[in-house]
Every structure is written in structure tokens, then in C-alpha cells.
Amino acid sequence: MNAREPAFVPTSRSARLRQMLVSNELEFMMEAHNGLSARIVREAGFKAIWGSGLAISAQFGVRDNNEASWTQVVDNLEFMADASDLPILLDGDTGYGNFNNVRRLVRKLEQRGIAGVCIEDKQFPKTNSFINGEAQPLADMDEFCGKIKAGKDSQSDENFSIVARVEALIAGWGMDEALRRAEAYRQAGADAILIHSKLSRPDEILEFAREWAGRGPLVIVPTKYYSTPTEVFREAGISTVIWANHLIRAATSAMQAVAKEIHSSETLVNVEDSIAAVNEIFRLQDADEYSEAEDRYLSSASAGSAVVLAASRGKGLEAVTEDRPKVMLPIAGKPLLRWLVDAFKKQGVNDITVVGGYRADAIDTAGIKLVVNEQHAQSGELASLACAAAKLSGDTVISYGDLLFRSYILRDLVESEAAFSVVVDSSLTEAENASVRDFAWCSAGDDRGLFGNKVTLRHVSSGQEASSAIASQTPHGRWVGLLNVREAGQPRLAAVLSQLQARADFATLDMPALLNALIEAGESIEVQYVHGHWRGVNDLEDFRRAGDFAHAQAPFAANVAATDAASGAAQ
Ligand code: SPV
Ligand code: MG
């Protein structure tokens, strides 16, 4: 072959295993014993996996004496084959019975995508070769040849490999017997011979290889003669080296050390930095692929996502927010954020990202993803929103973090088909003081459902603007802090947000600035009017009243009258 031509890599696993066996290069196989270790073997760069009988038994916590049934082994192999696209050579012990068991085993292995099986010339049930190997009876040679023939005759994939393992050296029957058996197995159709030794030096393996003289591929397992330089195997013309049990042993010592440490110290703090991060486990499980598939296949079923802005301490609430952000203030027995998250979940909005800032460490609400606006002290709502830019896809509700509302408000909002829609409270048209923002001017006032008119947003008062022409007119209500963006609106939202991000004063901008920029960019923002039925928590008085409101939202609340009070609701 031309040295510059890349080696042809066959696509099927069985063809790849066969190529490894027959190639003139020294090849290597690494033990794996479950799906996770199979994936780790692939990532380390190995070309094939040894499905070790010892390691698979050990991970089940049973002995290497065929205590795990062969179907349990095959089920385990299925996880390994799913987790890694490498060829797997199963250590099939003695073939789990006579020729007939081997036939069925080969068919089942082919069905599960296993590339080959190694069978050893001992008797069922076997014992690991390193446990009193001399005492173990060998199989009758002719009977074992029948098993090899039966296996080869029952494979439907021509590349499926059967490796015959010669135990004569282990059992103390001598070199001549080992060679006699190996030749018989080759003639019976074995694709390779595994010659096993329990000596700490490679001498008998090397002698065997010399006598064998390249009659067929030779596979070795240097567990006991591990200190032999690999170059020696290469020079001896060995086809494949199996590193047979090193991952189960590595896992065992790591688990023993960590279990012992946690037990004695009664804390996790000493081990956290020296073990795989939970995210590393997720990566090995390919969790990202699941999320992508969810986006692809579940988008219509899922009710979208939410981004909750929760970075602020809360002006006027300093007395109660020393150790927590405003969203973690307790309202009627649970944090404000919990009420909000529960409200989202009730509408099937389960993918909830909260942007924290001030005392984000105190946000420990279950069922959310937390991102942190590290610049919260010097920046405003849009800077916080930008921290969650990656979450702005699909149907998304953007919400202030300090809201309580009746459930129909969110239900109606998420059901809106408009690319952009907001909730405006028409009961609030007068500010208690000039600094209050979020007043909304719309294309028409609230007709309280009489005419079913479509109303759009024209302007929302922002904390930044000095005064605007429209602000001299009475507003139509107050934006409550809920914006629904449909998937179709996301690219436009992203475009407007990035224009604003280019501005020097971006750090000071609030959500109304975004709504106004969308309107200026020609977007239509649908208005859903409500009349009360929500509360914002902006000062101690709001905080006090929010408790009554929240109590009334709880199931079977007695205090229903409190729910209708809308005055003072403010963001
Ligand atoms: C195994 O890995 O289960 C083997 C190799 O059979 S050995 O344990 O070295 O015999
Ligand atoms: Mg074994």
C-alpha cells in the first residue's frame, strides 16, 4: 500500500475486528465491562473492546464462574455496543455449554452487533484461569473443534470472528499439547488463537509464537507478564494484545478510596475535586444529544421555556434583603420565586432559567437553571437578559422575578399566537410617583372583552427616558412584566437586543427599552389586558400585601376577597 494512502477502515464492527486480527500491525484491545467503560475505551482511542468475563462478572458482583447467565452477559453487551461503536470481542468463556449453545450464542451476538467471540477449551462452568489453573480440566480437543465448527457454521456475517483460546499452558499440559490444540482449532475454522499464560515472564508465549510461525493470528493477554516491553510482542509477530481487566481494577481502587474517605470524614469536601464532575458523567451519557433531540421532537408538546429576571436586591427592601435577593423573600410561607416557578410549571413551562445577580448564592429553588449576571451591581435588566441569551429560542416567556399573578394571566399569554405579546393592567393608569415606570400606551384602551379588538403596544415608560411626547397622555395601563416571545419572534428579538447591546448605555437599559426598541423596529406587540389579579413586590408595603394575595392563590383558600385587590401592584 502507498504509504500516503490512509488505511481503509471498514465500516462494520465485525469487519474492523477481523482486520485488526489479520493486520500485520500489533493491535490492542481494552477491557470494558459496561456501557460507561465501553465509551471511555472508545474516547481513549482504542480500536476494539475486550468484553472480559472476569470484569463483567465483577461489575455484577459475582464470581468468574459462569454465575452470571449468558443472557445476562449478552444484555450487558448490548449496553456496551450502544455506548460505543467499537467492535467488541466477547470473552465467551467455554461457550456456555456444548456446540448447540455456541450456535445460539453466535446468532444472538450477531443480533446485538457484537463483532466476535473468544471461547476457551475448558469445561462449563469454568473458573478464572488465574485461580488454581492447573487443577482445571481441559475440554476434549475434538469436542472443542466441534464447537468452533458449529459457531462458524451458524454465523451469518462472514466477518464475525471466533477466537479459540488455548488453556494447555495454564493447565500445565505443556507446549506440545498447546501447539497441537492450536493447530486443531485453526483447522476447525478459528479466526485466531488466543494463547494464555500465567507466568510472570513471557517466555512460554514467545516460544509458542516461534513454533507457531505465523500460521494464523495470535492473541495474548499479558496480565501476569505485564512488565514485558510491548516491543517484544511486536517482534514476536503477535497480532493483538488484550489489556484484560485494567478498567475494572482502576474503578475498584478509586471507589474503595472514595467510599472510605467519605465514610471516615462524613463530608464530601475532601473528594469533590479528585473525582469526575457530575457534568462529566452527563457528557459521557451524551446528555446534550438528548436536549437537542428534545428540541427537535418535543417542541410542539413542550410549552416552551421561561427566563426570569431576578438579579436585583430590590429598592426599598434593603431591610429584608441583607442575605438574599428580592425573589427569595418569603411570601405566605414560600419564596416569591417559588410561587413564580410553580405558576410556570402549572402551565407546562418547565424549562425555566433564572438570571440571578445580587446574592445569587441564596437562590436555591428546585427546578430552575440559574445563570448569574456578575455585573448586576452596575447593570440593568437587559444586561441580565443578555446573560440568558442562549435560552432565547423557541417559545419563551420573559418575566420579572417579583411577580404574583392569577394563573389565567400566564395561560392566556402563552396561548397567544402573536410573535410578541405582553400583559397590561388597565386598572393602573396613575402613578403614585413620577419615578414609577412600566406605564403602557396602547393602540386602544381596554374594552374589558366587549369588542374583542386586537390591541398593540405603542410605548412603555422606561427608567431611562427623561420624558416623551406620548407620556403627556394618560397611559392605558401598566405593563405587568410579562413578555411572551414565540419562536418566530426570536430572531427579531435577538437582532434588536444585539443592536441595543452595541449602545454605550446598554448597561443601564431596562425591559421597557427593549419593548420600545422592538416597536421602533416595526414589530407588533399584542396587548392582553387584565384588570388587577397580579402583584409586583417593589417595597415593604407590596411585600406585606403580597402575602395576602399569595394566600388566596393557595388551594381552598378562604380569603378569596383579597385576590381582587389590585391597587398598589407595581413592578
Ligand atoms: C477475562 O478477562 O475474563 C479473561 C482473561 O478471561 S483472564 O482473566 O486473564 O483469564
Ligand atoms: Mg475470562
3-state SS, one letter per residue, for 126-194: CCCCCCCHHHCCECCHHHHHHHHHHHHHHCCCCCCEEEEEECCCCCCCCHHHHHHHHHHHHHHCCCEEE
Give the residue among 58, 125, 46 at the shortest CA–CA distance from 89: 46
| Mean pLDDT of the chain, nearest integer | 91
pLDDT class for 540, splitting at 50, 70, 90? confident
pLDDT class for 556, splitting at 50, 70, 90? low
Answer whether 65 contacts ligand 1 (Cβ < 6 A).
Answer: no
514: helix, strand or coil: helix
Distances (CA, A) of 361 to 320, 324, 325, 372, 380: 16, 8, 9, 9, 19
Q: Break the chain into its structural domains and give their ranges.
A: 13-252, 272-569
Answer whether 129 contacts ligand 1 (Cβ < 6 A).
Answer: yes
pLDDT class for 299, splitting at 50, 70, 90? low
> Residue 314: pLDDT above 50?
yes
Q: Rounded distance, CA 367 to CA 225, Å?
A: 53
CA of 314 to the centre of ligand 1 (A): 65
Better-predicted residue by pLDDT, 5 or 89: 89
DSSP state of 285: T
The neighbouring-strand residues paired with 27 are 240
> Residue 107: pLDDT above 60?
yes
pLDDT tens digits, 455-511: 999 999 987 765 666 777 889 999 999 999 999 999 999 999 999 999 999 999 999
Residue 562 has what pLDDT? 40
Of 271-280, 312-321, 364-373, the range with the highest mean pLDDT is 271-280
CA of 64 to the centre of ligand 1 (A): 9
Report, at the CATH architecture level, how domain 13-252 is classified: Alpha-Beta Barrel (3.20)
Residue 558 has what pLDDT? 43
CA of 82 to the centre of ligand 2 (A): 22
Percentage of the chain surpassing pLDDT 90?
A: 75
pLDDT class for 319, splitting at 50, 70, 90? confident
pLDDT class for 571, splitting at 50, 70, 90? very low
Helix axes 246-265, 53-60, angle to 10 degrees: 20
Contact 525, 457 (CB under 8 A): yes
Mean pLDDT of 505-524: 94
Percentage of the chain surpassing pLDDT 70?
A: 93
69: helix, strand or coil: coil
E strand residue ranges, 12-154: 27-32, 49-51, 88-91, 116-120
64 is catalytic: yes
Mean pLDDT of 227-240: 98
Better-predicted residue by pLDDT, 569 or 22: 22
Kindly give the number of the ligand 1 atom that is closest to the alpha carbon of 128: 10
Taking the model in full, what pTM does it have? 0.67
Give the residue among 447, 446, 448, 440 at the shortest CA–CA distance from 473: 440
Answer whether 91 contacts ligand 1 (Cβ < 6 A).
Answer: yes
Residue 458 has what pLDDT? 95
Residue 431 has what pLDDT? 66
Same fold, 13-252 and 272-569: no
> Residue 411: pLDDT above 90?
yes
Q: Which residues contact 345 (CB under 8 A, 6 or more apart)?
A: 352, 367
Ligand nearest to the CA of 31: 1
Q: Rounded distance, CA 219 to CA 212, Å?
A: 12
Kindly give the number of the ligand 1 atom that is closest to the alpha carbon of 52: 2
> Residue 56: pLDDT above 80?
yes
pLDDT tens digits, 424-442: 999 987 766 556 789 999 9
Kindly give the number of the ligand 1 atom that is closest to the alpha carbon of 54: 3
Answer whether 245 contacts ligand 1 (Cβ < 6 A).
Answer: yes
pLDDT class for 1, splitting at 50, 70, 90? very low
Residue 570 has what pLDDT? 38
> Which has the minimum average pLDDT: 48-62, 272-286, 369-383, 461-475?
461-475
Mean pLDDT of 55-73: 98
Contact 15, 155 (CB under 8 A): no
Q: Rounded distance, CA 247 to CA 41, Å?
A: 9
Give the residue among 103, 105, 104, 79 at the shortest CA–CA distance from 91: 105
Residue 447 has what pLDDT? 87
Just give the CATH number of 272-569: 3.90.550.10
Helix axes 99-111, 141-154, angle to 10 degrees: 30
The one catalytic residue among 64, 395, 425, 446:
64
